[in-house]
């Protein structure tokens, strides 16, 4: 499965990405909502893991 990980904390993102890759998933990481939007324009993902406390953006909407 190809996942988009949107997480502002580098340490947390590293742990999540490592765990999902160990489970066999391909993970693209975006450190901000703006970067996630850029990736979504050109790429296709099966699912996303989104930090709900992103700076300047509500991760729930």
Q: Is the pLDDT of residue 6 over 80?
A: yes
Stretch 50-57: mean pLDDT = 82
The pTM of the full predicted model, rounded to 2 decimals, is: 0.89
Count CA atoms closer than 13 A to 22's CA, side-chain side.
6
Which pLDDT band, with edges at 50, 70 and 90, does 59 fall under?
A: low
Looking at residue 50, what is its pLDDT? Answer: 93
Find the mean pLDDT for residues 25-45: 95
Q: Tell me whether residue 44 is in a domain.
A: yes
Total domains in the chain come to 1
Residue 52 sits at the vertex; the CA angle it makes with 18 and 41, to the nearest 5 degrees, is 75
pLDDT above 90 (res 54):
no
pLDDT at residue number 57:
73
Domain that holds residue 31: 2-50
């Amino acid at each position: 499965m190809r996942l988009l990980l949107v997480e502002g904390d580098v340490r947390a993102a590293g742990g999540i990405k490592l765990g999902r890759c160990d489970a066999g998933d391909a993970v693209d990481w975006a450190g901000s909502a703006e970067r996630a939007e850029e990736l979504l324009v050109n790429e296709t993902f099966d699912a996303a893991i989104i930090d709900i406390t992103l700076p300047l953006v509500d991760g729930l909407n």
